């Protein structure tokens, strides 16, 4: 089995959107997907992309993807690689593609002098939690994620 990791290009926008929709379906969040190919082109493939995508290719099949971006740690005075989404097609799970994507991004984070790599996981996703624990990742029990929706931000700015 030959697994390769490929940085997405603008020609992959349709495939990126397919993976986003499949991930949303898996997470029971399809109703929240409003992304379009036009928006993905603008945010992922502009002069200053806001995020990046890498695919895991199993033989000749694109079987998984990871979407990530860099944020900044003031305490470390270094960037942090934030993994926003990781998804492997169900028929390709158990073949080390997810682990390979994590290792690929970990190497990229080291190349970019990142002080750490972070991501979020849904509390009900036991298989993902077990997988991340097996890698030596640690949950941040003292931190909570907060979110302001676009509507809430609009109300605040009035």
For residue 24, the domain's CATH number is 3.40.630.30
Distance CA 131, CA 129 (A): 5
Q: Which of 5, 26, 68, 132 is catalytic?
A: 132
- When pLDDT is cut at 50, 70 and 90, the band that residue 3 belongs to is very high
* Residue span of the structural domain in which 13 resides: 3-156
- Inform me whether the pLDDT recorded for 138 exceeds 80: yes
Q: What percent of the chain has pLDDT over 90?
A: 96
- Inform me whether the pLDDT recorded for 1 exceeds 80: no
Q: Which pLDDT does position 158 carry in this prediction? A: 78
Q: For this structure, is 72 an active site residue?
A: no
Distance CA 23, CA 6 (A): 19
Distance CA 59, CA 95 (A): 12
Name the domain count of the chain. Answer: 1
């Amino acid at each position: 089995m030959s697994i390769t990791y490929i940085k997405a290009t603008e020609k992959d926008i349709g495939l990126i959107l397919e993976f986003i929709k499949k991930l949303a379906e898996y997470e029971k969040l399809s109703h929240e997907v409003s992304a379009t190919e036009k928006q993905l082109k603008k945010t992922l493939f502009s002069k200053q992309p806001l995020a990046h995508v890498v695919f895991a290719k199993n033989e000749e099949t694109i079987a998984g993807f990871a979407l990530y971006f860099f944020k900044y740690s003031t305490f470390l005075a270094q960037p942090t690689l934030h993994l926003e989404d990781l998804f492997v097609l169900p028929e390709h799970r158990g073949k080390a593609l997810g682990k390979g994507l994590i290792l690929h991004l970990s190497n990229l984070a080291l190349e970019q002098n990142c002080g750490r790599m972070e991501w979020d996981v849904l509390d009900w996703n036991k298989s993902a939690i077990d997988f991340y624990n097996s890698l030596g990742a640690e949950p941040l029990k003292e931190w909570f994620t907060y979110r302001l929706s676009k509507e809430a931000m609009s109300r605040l700015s009035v």
